[in-house]
Structure 1
Amino acid sequence: MALANWLTPVEPECDNDDSPAVEEILGRIEDVPPGTKKMFEVRDRKVLVINDEGRIYAINGLCSHYNFSLENGTYAKGRIRCPLHGACFNVRSGDIEDYPGFDSLHSYVVTVNDGNLIIKTTEKKLGSDRRIRHLPKMKQCNDRPVVIIGGGVATATFIEHSRLNGLITPILVISEESLPPYDRVLLSKKPAATGEDIRLRKDDAFYEERNVKFLLKTSVIAVNHKSREVSLSNGETVVYSKLIIATGGNVRKLQVPGSDLKNICYLRKVEEANIISNLHPGKHVVCVGSSFIGMEVASALAEKAASVTVISNTPEPLPVFGSDIGKGIRLKFEEKGVKFELAANVVALRGNDQGEVSKVILENGKELDVDLLVCGIGVTPATKFLEGSGIKLDNRGFIEVDEKFRTNISYIFAMGDVVTAPLPLWDIDSINIQHFQTAQAHGQHLGYTIVGKPQPGPIVPYFWTLFFFAFGLKFSGCNQGSTKEYTNGDPETGTFIRYFLKKDKVVAVAAGGPSSVASQFAEIFKKGIEVTLKDLKNSSDHTWGHLLL
């Protein structure tokens, strides 16, 4: 068998890496036959070796998002995609190319000598499972800043990619948050986590080196595109060279009698998550809403609360996936002691003598005891401050942008949950998608187009939800306009694959259980590979990695 002796990764060496060289035998080449991959361990560091028909690649073996093993990830022509949440890495460079996550991985030189796989690296590179991509030296620039309104994950990703792509203009982020960007996904899954715990970049020097400043606990109240300035809640004005709006959404609040009582909580910021975490032990908790936020909060609080009840206004929770999938998830929750009120609506709340909520009144007359009420009933776009700005909004209040995230006003862009944008792979002219990974992809793409570079491939929506840190769902694609469903497995057991089809072609996939089909289809969609209803019916195992070889 002819083998390439080694392949040099394209990753630049760690900055100022004068640490001792490391050269060790990983194993035998027969341990990794062509077309396979295998995890090895070097000095307690997991290293994944991939044999791509004789080309040997080696990278860190854990995904930089949540440290999940890449050994069972989807490999396709130089890219490996995490089976958990779909983050994707270039195996030659280790660079992250698709989200979620931020950090890239180390790639390693591997040689084949007398049948032995030999890794050649340094102690510094073996000292961590991830790396921050190298930033070219910043040039001095005194232009008016690029102003970003909103400090979420789209903003964080834009900062990284725009700087990597050569943008030297100062960046000013104006945010209502008390911290620079953090992992908002964890608010509903791990509400006790502090802001410092979940910051995406924990070192302020990261932003200082990139000439990024933050104006925190501040909101924008008006935009004047003619003078290119924004008015702030503190009475000041800021001029911009280019403006990016990434304000996300505002929580939708209950509009029933008693909704002003104490101990009624909404979840958008880390401080609100911490309040919920501090209040819930030993209390009767009611979660209003059975979509992602309500269900994730219920699972996070169930262990320490006296009781947790979820109020769903649909016959089963998580209706977007189908009632049978929702039922399967509900049964698992009930096994954990969580109660449900299905097809129910809150019509009033009552309080005790201290002004704290104590009763939830349902439309059917039923009354529930409650000490802590958590509402997860959706969001509205945070665009009220744009009234009179001339920036075009749709009839729901979302900002309309084109494929380059440009608004109808010159020098003003928008991204993330606040926009409705084209989704070309699905022939959708404009759609609002409110998921972490998609917001990151928006930030990445705008980080290219703002400096005039072509975007790095099409956006493929991918999201996940996790309950009790034990089971959940993964979804890839876009099922808007789908006309048919095909299911493999049993949704009520939680182990299944559901395909959504349009014109007998798969346009989206939902999966529960250990299946990596959602991440496989993220790559299938990205590469424009067609999977039909006939293919689904002919598949014996519903694994699709062979389409990517």
Structure 2
Amino acid sequence: MSESVEHVLIVGAGLAGLRAAEELRRGGYTGELTLLGDENRAPYDRPPLSKQYVRGETDDTALRPAEFYDEQRITLRLGATATGVDTTARRVRLADGSDLGYDALVIATGLRPRRIPGLPEVSGVHVLRSHADAAGLRAHLGSARQAVIVGAGFIGCELAASFRSRGLAVTIVEPQPTPLYAALGAAVGALVTRLHESEGVEVRCGTGVESLVTEGDSVIGVRLADGTRIDADLVVIGIGSVPAADWLADSGIPLAAPADGGGVLTDETGRTTVPGVWAVGDVAAWPHAAGRNKRVEHWTNAGEQARILAAALLGGEPAGETQVPYVWSDQYDMKIQVLGLPGLADEIRIVEDRGRKFLAHYLRAGELVAVVGASMVGKVMKARAELAANLRPRADIS
């Protein structure tokens, strides 16, 4: 280490924060290690929330058993919200008026869900990000009959599949031309539309929600921008998330512009330009293969970044090869896998289409930069070596 680090404070007790703590211990760090989280719950896995948990198939989403934290000498500070940081004094301010000192600060605060401005706060309208959000949604699911999901990203599509498995009538409303349009493009989005329609979901694209229809303090429907009214006793707003970085506004820690996706700007190891401050996971804008800094909201990305960050913080080099970005989504009986960076592509080719199974190649200047497949596990993973050769990040935090 280039400086004495007796206390590492990780703000954010989600997957990225936990993985950073684990990697620091694995790398030989023996000093004080604090994991600070604003929820009153130890680190848990988010992907099951929209699937197994909301359907009532599991209650266990913990990433590690309770005894793990004592064994690894990780101090959990839960229910504690960071409100600011003094990077000169190296102290993080908390909502209760107290503060915590650090030698190295790792920012891992993740995301918060977007809301639609002007919509009233009424019963039956949900977002899904936290465990508490999922618990509220699961409780409502037992009495609901008609659901409208606003936003057809991965979470919205997964919830549509989960709701259909419970027998609800489901309508997806998406302003873009297809589901998953922003992530995967129109060609694959059309295949996802076909999948959901075959399961009885009504997919309404190219329009948004203008207002809620309410009765008393409960939602009974939504009115779309095209004038259509859809009855609903359950509405989920799933229009994406923004980095939880508001608490850093006056800190001097460099942040990307909202137009560029926001987040904490770092180098290729997660280090910011402020001494002793690092960032990892969904809130962190690391150098990207596109030649600029960009946040990557992938489950596997959090672990890969944590490995690199911990090695750099400890003054070494990360062991092993850099992983190709990977994300998956379970919808009905299908696993949709995304390997690589589809956003870099200038051409999309559907190379196989067998109904509920398909495979797409994403090319940039003729080179493969991503593969997307539905129930094509072997063919997707076979492309890993080629993608690793084609995707080499370039450091640029200007």
Deviations 1:346-372 (A, max 9, x none): 00112112x111120011111011111
1:261 aligned partner? 122
Residue 110 (structure 2) pairs with residue 248 (structure 1): yes
Q: Distance in 2 between matches of 1:454 and 1:161?
A: 13
Q: SS state of the match for residue 380, structure 2? A: helix
C-alpha separation between the residues in 2 aligned to 1:338 and 1:479? 26
**% identity of equivalent residues:** 27
Give SS of 2:336's match: strand
Q: Is the 8 A contact 1:498 1:510 kept in 2?
A: yes
2:93 corresponds to 1:231: yes
Distance 2:24 2:318 in 1: 12
> Kindly tell me: are residues 211 and 459 of structure 1, through their superposed partners in 2, closer, same or farther at Cα, counting changes over 3 Å?
same
1:284 and 1:305 in contact (8 A); partners too = no
User: Contact conserved, 2:269 with 2:305, CA < 8 A, in 1?
Assistant: no
The reply on whether 1:419 has 2:293 as its aligned counterpart is no
What is the SS of the residue equivalent to 2:60? helix
Give TM-score scaled by structure 2 length: 0.91
SS in 2 for 1:317: coil
Q: Which residue of 2 aligns with 1:480?
A: 343
Of residues 264, 278, 287, the one that matches 1:399 is 264
Query: How far 1:429 moved relative to its partner?
Result: 3.4
Q: Can you list the C-alpha shifts for 1:293-341, whole angstroms capped at 9, x where unaligned? A: 1111111111224311111112221113232322222222222222222
Name 1:191's counterpart in structure 2: 53
Unpaired segments ≥5 residues, structure 2: 392-398
Tell me which residue corresponds to 1:390: 252
Q: Quote the residue 2:394 is aligned against.
A: none
Report the AA paired with residue 253 of structure 2. Answer: I
Which residue matches 1:356? 218
Query: Partner residue of 1:152?
Result: 14
1:327 aligns with 2:169: no
Query: Which residue of the partner structure matches residue 164 of structure 1?
Result: 26
Alignment partner, residue 395 of structure 2: none
Q: 1:335 to 1:501 in 2, by over 3 A?
A: closer
In 2, Cα distance between equivalents of 1:150 and 1:157? 11
The correspondence for 1:521, drawn from 383, 389, 392, is: 383
Cα 1:194–1:450 change in 2 (3 A) is farther
| 2:330 aligned partner | 466
Partner of 2:133: 272
Partner of 1:21: none
Displacement of 1:165: 1.0
SS in 1 for 2:68: helix
Q: Deviations over 1:162-198 (max 9, x none)?
A: 1111011111111012222111111112233699601
Q: Which residue of 1 aligns with 2:396?
A: none
Letter in 1 for 2:210: V
1:285-324 alignment, distance < 5 Å? 285-319=147-181, 320-324=183-187
CA distance 1:362–1:196, change in 2 (3 Å): closer
- 1:372 equivalent among 228, 234, 257: 234
Separation (CA, whole Å) in 1 of partners of 2:331 and 2:359: 18
Number of aligned residue pairs: give it: 381
1:6 counterpart residue number:
none
**Structure 2 partner of 1:454:** 317
Q: CA deviation at 1:510?
A: 1.1
CA positional deviation for 1:427: 5.8
1:439 to 302, 315, 320: 302
Q: 1:220 to 1:485 in 2, by over 3 A?
A: same
The one-letter amino acid paired with 2:324 is V
Partner of 2:360: 498
CA contact (8 A) 1:298 1:308 kept: yes
Match of 1:344 in 2: 207
What value does the CA root-mean-square deviation take over the aligned residues? Answer: 2.0
Do the aligned residues in 2 keep the contact of 1:191 with 1:276 (CA within 8 Å)? no
Is 438-447 or 332-341 further displaced after alignment? 332-341
Q: From the CA coordinates, give the structure whose radius of gyration is larger.
A: 1
Q: Is the 8 A contact 1:280 1:305 kept in 2?
A: no
SS at match of 1:480: helix
Task: List alignment gaps of at least 5 residues for structure 1.
Answer: 1-141, 531-549
Counterparts of 1:482 and 1:318, CA distance in 2: 15
Distance in 2 (CA, whole Å) between partners of 1:464 and 1:224 is 38
**Higher-RCO chain (CA-CA 8 Å, sequence separation at least 6):** 2
In structure 2, the CA distance between the partners of 1:482 and 1:407, relative to structure 1 (3 Å rule), is same
State how far apart, in whole Å, the 2-side matches of 1:452 and 1:194 are. Answer: 44
Q: Deviations over 1:229-255 (max 9, x none)?
A: 011011111101110000011100011
Counterpart AA for 1:262: S
| Structure 2 CA distance for partners of 1:315 and 1:402, relative to 1, 3 Å | same
Shift of 1:144: 4.5
Q: Give the direction of change, closer, same or farther, for the CA distance of 1:194–1:499 in structure 2 (3 Å limit).
A: closer
Partner residue of 2:42 out of 180, 186, 206: 180
What amino acid does structure 2 have at the position aligned with 1:332? L
